[in-house]
Structure 1
């Protein structure tokens, strides 16, 4: 394996990890949506 293919695999894994974290965050945000809205309205106002 040369360096470029290693980099490519690392980038793909990183992208998967990021999207997984995003999905987890999204799920939590959806579950705690009302809390988030309250928090945002407090910080924005």
Structure 2
């Protein structure tokens, strides 16, 4: 027997509104936090060079 794995959607767009899964939302916020952290470190280190 072969079972097809149903692929979960990361977001759903209904009636003009986009809904994210909890996991997708956490990943996006984590990436944004890391980008802001790296940006802050770069800006802080520019004072020393």
How does the TM-score come out when normalised to structure 1?
0.62
Q: Which structure ranks higher in relative contact order (CA pairs < 8 Å, sequence separation ≥ 6)?
A: 2
Runs of at least 4 residues off by over 2 Å: none
User: Unaligned 5+ residue runs, structure 1?
Assistant: 31-45
CA RMSD of aligned residues (A): 0.6
Aligned pair count reads 30
Q: Which has the higher strand share?
A: 2
User: Unaligned 5+ residue runs, structure 2?
Assistant: 1-19
Q: Which has the higher helix share?
A: 1
How does the TM-score come out when normalised to structure 2?
0.58
